[in-house]
Amino acid sequence: GGGGGGGSDGGVVNEKEVARLMERLLRAQPDLFEVENLRKAGLSHRATMAIRARIGADGVVSSSSIAASLTPLLDAQAFDELAGPLEEIIIEPEKHPFTLTALQDRRSPWWHAGMGLLGSPYIQPSQAALNLASWVGFRPIVQMWRVAQEVRSSSRVDAQARAAATATNGRIGVGSNATKLLSTAVKLVHNGSSSGSGGS
């Protein structure tokens, strides 16, 4: 769809909206992306430097630099799934400090935010990138990405099945080829069972 704005309408995510959310997050946790804080959070030196290089232009991390890096990775669903937990963190920042442990804890809003982001269909790293991420210390995040992609993919399949069922008023449409195939299968099963051969 055209235009901006997150929301689960399938539309494009607006970079200004992402920047506003990141600005509020950085206000709530001002030292979030500081090297020392990332190290205390449990990230390796290599992981810390990789994060800083990705989101900090000239070593300065700002809401706009984060939004510029993050927005192209988000679809509307990923933004919604990221924004909800981040709002919880923004409301009670002292209750939800960022740590690698929190990022891996299913009860933590950091885990929910991470899974929302990592489930985005726009995050499709190459095998080399996944290997590099594991090497710099992001192996748990690589594992989370795999799970998040699987969950998101299965929810897309479920949504397509619901849409197809809705389109046929809940009836499964069976074409003439499928009907012929089914009747042939029934005949084969019937003939096989009446022939008296009990082979398996």
Task: Supply 146's token pair.
Answer: 């795999």
pLDDT at 11: 63
Task: Supply 192's token pair.
Answer: 């096989």
- The mean pLDDT of 3-8, rounded to a whole number, is 40
Mean pLDDT (the chain, rounded): 81
pLDDT digits (tens, 9 = 90+) for 35-90: 788 889 998 888 888 887 777 656 677 899 899 999 999 999 999 999 999 999 99
Q: Which residue has the tokens 């095998």?
A: 127
What is the secondary structure of the chain as a DSSP string?
Answer: --S---STTS-PPPHHHHHHHHHHHHHHSTTTT-HHHHHHTT--HHHHHHHHHHHEETTEE-HHHHHHHHGGG--HHHHHHHHHHHHHHHHSTTTS---HHHHT-TTSHHHHHHHHHHT-TT----HHHHHHHIIIIIHHHHHHHHHHHHHHHHHHHHHHHHHHHHHTTTPPP--HHHHHHHHHHHHHHHHHHHS-----
Look at strands 60-61 and 56-57 and give their pairing.
antiparallel
- The mean pLDDT of 96-107, rounded to a whole number, is 95
pTM of the model: 0.71
- Mean pLDDT comparison of 29-38, 53-62, 122-131, 168-177, highest-scoring range: 122-131
Task: Supply 59's token pair.
Answer: 């070593």
